[in-house]
A and B are shown apart, each in its own frame.
Chain A
């Protein structure tokens, strides 16, 4: 028995833009170019597109189909939907991961989103104080000092006790915006916002791209530092890297995290579709949109801009600082060199990143809101207030334990990285092997306006799970031991682990309560009756 009044998306395009908005984030603009440049440049695109076809898109289709199927039975939370797939309680408890991931990630993601908003405000009002007549090392030091101060990385509690309150103010603004749009509901809030934000993001990306591609050779004394060589830095292929397992691992990881598969959002968003809405084309379109922002914009803008002002060594050093170093320490130096319009280009860039971040963070609250509503019978307003309260607790911890980024990087590793592999693996195995690939294939094509090539049936059943296991094992071997040590190395990281445990326990109790409630209501929680 489905609930009498279910939330639904207003339009087909609405759900596509919302899922694409969830997928397009800071990683598209900051992580992808760094990964590509460090792993073979243009040659990286071969394992990258292989992972897209063999891992990202097939698991995405499974997730879309599972979500819509769950919605037909009145379930919108990952535990409810995974219980249907598995036909038992184990599926429901494993489904808790699909709520823990987006909720846990939201704790620190909104903090990082506040950086983009704060930087946008700074560039709108004159930049971060870089003196372009100073030696380049001093400029980089100024940008780094601002970044460290803004993110409070020197010391726990400094964002509350320090002189500048811009970070806290930025966080309050972006968190309030998030809760406001989630509170307004799926169609009037998230869908409406994404329907404006996604085109706006594309327009801003085009503006910044055009500016970067027309930079020419800014310093005639350094003729090699030009746009064409900047593009070459990113795109010249180094095919020898294809023989390195690390390149294939990095490409699969990039695809995986970029598309938001296994994140718990697609399964939730798809559950609000109408029973015959097209999931095959919607899934493909959302993935294609993500790829446009990642390859078409991220791959063209970020490193090209850095190269023309910083050259080979400066850009390589910037890539080595990681995504955040590249985005928040290096690019401010680049914008400062763009002359009178540099601050406006910087403001456009950071506002674009802010839109990318907020369309992602909005999607992180909805799965938990859905769980509270259907497990505890809460109203949308009450559930949103509950998640706002949890989000505030998580955010206060993130804002306080800033030293070395230990708190949020611990939550990011375990919840925002490791559990995603597990969730995606559980999902594709339940879908292809328990729900059944024949039934699943039929479900994907129900209402579809495209026919997926039959080879994908084989890919979903065999190739994607095996590919995923190989990547997961490779990732574990490479990262687990060091991450386990780091997780207990500081107060911030220990608090991060406790936060994960407490949130997990809370969600398990909610699912336990929900399961009892669904049984009392006589709902088909083990999928014993046909959906149609």
Chain B
């Protein structure tokens, strides 16, 4: 594996792992809207 190969692979992995971690953290930080109790309609 060339040095350019290592650099490309590491950047790509940082982007995809970083992206998914950032997104899921943000989703989980946002408060979940409470579900209406049954019988109250949609």
Contact = CB atoms under 8 A, between A and B. Distances in A.
Contacts of B15: 49, 291, 295
A281 B8 contact: no
Given A6-B42, A41-B5, A42-B12, A12 B32 contact: yes
B23 A45 contact: no
A295 B30 contact: no
Q: Most chain-B Cβ atoms within 10 A of its Cβ — which of A42, A229, A289, A299?
A: A42
Given A12-B30, A12-B32, A284-B23, A292 B9 contact: no
A235 B8 contact: yes
B16 A232 contact: no
A231 B16 contact: no
A228 B32 contact: no
A231 B1 contact: yes
A11 B27 CA distance: 11
A295 B27 contact: no
Interface in B1-42: 1-2, 4-6, 8-9, 12-13, 15-17, 19-20, 22-24, 26-28, 30, 32-33, 35, 41-42
A137 to B, nearest CB: 28
Given A11-B32, A12-B27, A42 B20 contact: no
A5 interface: yes
Nearest to B22: A288
A11 B35 CA distance: 9
Nearest to A11: B32
A28 to B, nearest CB: 11
Interface residues of A, number: 40
A235 B16 contact: no
A288 B35 CA distance: 27
A9 to B, nearest CB: 10
A5 B42 contact: yes
Contacts of A449: 26, 30
A526 interface: no
Contact of A299 (B12, B19, B24, B26): B12
Nearest to B26: A281
Interface in A224-239: 228-229, 231-232, 235-237
Interface in A270-323: 274, 276-278, 281-282, 284-285, 288-289, 291-292, 294-296, 299-300
A194 B1 CA distance: 37
Contacts of B32: 11-12
Given A13-B27, A277-B33, A278-B30, A237 B13 contact: no
B33 A281 contact: no
A185 interface: no
Contact of B20 (A12, A274, A292): A292
A49 B12 CA distance: 9
B10 to A, nearest CB: 9
A205 to B, nearest CB: 13
Contact of A285 (B9, B17, B27, B42): B27
Contacts of A41: 5, 8
Nearest to B27: A285
A8 B32 CA distance: 14
A296 B18 CA distance: 11
A232 B42 contact: no
B30 A45 contact: no
A5 B26 contact: no
A281 B28 CA distance: 11
A10 interface: yes
A236 B5 CA distance: 4
Nearest to A6: B42
Contacts of A134: none
Given A232-B2, A288-B22, A295-B15, 19 more contacts: A4-B41, A8-B42, A11-B32, A41-B5, A41-B8, A42-B9, A45-B8, A228-B1, A235-B12, A237-B5, A237-B8, A281-B30, A285-B26, A288-B19, A289-B23, A291-B16, A294-B16, A296-B13, A299-B9
Q: Which 10 A-B pairs have the closest CB atoms?
A: A42-B8, A232-B1, A285-B23, A236-B5, A235-B9, A288-B19, A235-B5, A288-B20, A292-B20, A6-B42
